[in-house]
Structure 1
Amino acid sequence: MTASSSYLRVTAEAYDAVAALYADLFRGALDDQPLDRAALAVFAEVVRTAGGGPVAELGCGPGHVTAYLRKLGLDVSGLDLSPVMIDLARREYPDLRFEVGSMDALDLADGELGGIVSWYSVIHTPPQELPAYFSEFCRVLAPGGHLLLGFFESEGAPVTPFDHKAAPAYRWPIDDLAALARQAGFVEVGRVLREPGEGERYRQGRLLMRRQ
């Protein structure tokens, strides 16, 4: 087993173990986060303006963000490493499509998507592995397609591991994460930083990128 496949197995098993608790904890998580809803709404608008097309939420968990994107008018599906998470998503949102899979090896044609949302899913990717993920995102996005990243920001520190409750995770400097995406073929459209809300430990970052 390679180091990469080992990390994927650990992440999937960790989320399988907490899937029901996670789904209950984050149900309605967007309700009191206007900046997060605004970031998702801007993403939906730029995808439509660029010509639309299918959108994938990669690392969708129990599907609450996928469902929100559908409410915003997008043709969206979800993908996650955790089979238990996907089972929960399918039961909660039976009219949406959810699949088990890894976002570093997507079963999609080149240029198939109009947009990708990675909402707190690249946080579990070891830093040395992340450039390959961004290259895969770029491959499956159509030219002009958009990528929205949600992540924990490192607040002036370098890439920093932290004790995430499910699996090993990393906080990223927003400039460094944007630079990695640019190296893969993206240009930055905009960014948002918000301070921790009640019950949150760290600053939250959002990056909106466009495939060249």
Structure 2
Amino acid sequence: MPAAPAHPGGRNLVTDEQQRRPAAAAFDALGADYEKAFAGSTTHRHSLQWLLGRLAPGSRVLDVGSGTGRPTAETLANAGHDVLGVDVSPVMVELASRQVPAATFRCTDIRDVPLADESFDAVCVYFSLLQLARREQAGLVRYLTRALKPEGLMVLATVPLDVEGVDATFMGQPVRVSSFTAQGLTTVAEQAGLEVLAQEATLFTPAHPEARPEPHLFLHCRRRPATAPGA
């Protein structure tokens, strides 16, 4: 469950700022331990290779929930791409800025970043939806899709579970989790205007004493080209 870019699903009378703080606090506490715990994910690296094989040189890439910058921003920046990472955790952003100086990082909620339509060649969303309510996840995917150039690429990775607003413990930190099944996330992607080109599912155990095996799903998507009027 990589660094979340936004707050957990809320309840009535809970302010937006109160919702956002727990997500930042959890990943501030994890810091570099998060990177170590997930460094062994070969599926994540396969996903990055899928993306690298399809990007033109010098592509502009948005990394949502960029965490410590590794492996996503680092891999893409080292390949010569222009990477913007966004994360709600100040600790994660400080680590990423130090570890991946070739990329740019901002500490904010991705939904507070004004993204121009059709301004990115690719968007990476590696496990950074899980602390959003389902309706917020769907809304964010639509927002990010609009920021993609026509036929631009998006990778969506999640823990595919049928849960909404469940309080849980992740690597010793309290979190509130919402997620979709594999079919549910595929539907979210398609309704946002994406075409799912490929997907990979695996079971991964983070290298942390308090971690448990968790299913991972990677959807590799492309923004559908606009349909000509009258077509």
**TM-score higher than 0.5 here?**
yes
Q: Which runs of 5+ in 2 are unaligned?
A: 1-12, 225-231
Q: Which residue of 2 aligns with 1:182?
A: 190
Q: 2:150 aligns with which of 97, 121, 143?
A: 143
- Asked if residue 201 in structure 1 is aligned to residue 201 in structure 2, the reply is no
**Does structure 1 retain, via aligned residues, the 8 Å contact 2:28–2:89?**
yes
- Asked if residue 169 in structure 1 is aligned to residue 143 in structure 2, the reply is no
- Asked if residue 153 in structure 1 is aligned to residue 160 in structure 2, the reply is yes
- How has the CA–CA distance of structure 1 residues 118 and 198 changed in structure 2, closer, same or farther, with 3 Å as cutoff? closer
Counterpart residue identity of residue 206, structure 1: F
SS state at 1:147 partner: strand
Q: Which residue of 2 aligns with 1:22?
A: 34
Counterpart residue identity of residue 192, structure 1: E
Higher deviation after alignment, 55-64 or 164-173: 164-173
**Does structure 1 retain, via aligned residues, the 8 Å contact 2:82–2:103?**
no
- Asked if residue 112 in structure 1 is aligned to residue 119 in structure 2, the reply is yes
Query: Does 1 or 2 have the higher relative contact order (CA < 8 Å, sep 6+)?
Result: 2
Counterpart residue identity of residue 130, structure 2: I
C-alpha RMSD of matched pairs (Å): 2.3
Q: Which residue of 2 aligns with 1:60?
A: 66
TM-score, structure 1 as length reference: 0.84
- Asked if residue 129 in structure 1 is aligned to residue 129 in structure 2, the reply is no
Percent identity between the aligned chains?
25
**Does structure 1 retain, via aligned residues, the 8 Å contact 2:134–2:180?**
no
1:208 Cα shift? 1.0
Counterpart CA distance in 2 for 1:60 and 1:188 is 22
Q: Which residue of 1 aligns with 2:106?
A: 99
1:23 Cα shift? 4.1
Counterpart residue identity of residue 53, structure 2: E
Q: Which residue of 1 aligns with 2:229?
A: none
Q: Which has the larger radius of gyration?
A: 2
The one-character-per-residue Cα deviations of 1:158-202 (angstroms, maximum 9, x if unpaired) are 236443344222343111001011111111111100123475421
Counterpart residue identity of residue 22, structure 1: Y
Q: Which runs of 5+ in 1 are unaligned?
A: none
Aligned pairs for 1:3-82 (under 5 A) are: 4-26=16-38, 29=39, 32-48=40-56, 53-64=59-70, 65-82=72-89
Counterpart CA distance in 2 for 1:15 and 1:33 is 19
**Does structure 2 retain, via aligned residues, the 8 Å contact 1:163–1:169?**
no
**Does structure 1 retain, via aligned residues, the 8 Å contact 2:125–2:155?**
yes
- How has the CA–CA distance of structure 1 residues 203 and 47 changed in structure 2, closer, same or farther, with 3 Å as cutoff? same
**Does structure 2 retain, via aligned residues, the 8 Å contact 1:54–1:75?**
yes
Counterpart CA distance in 1 for 2:50 and 2:58 is 13
TM-score, structure 2 as length reference: 0.78
1:98 Cα shift? 0.9
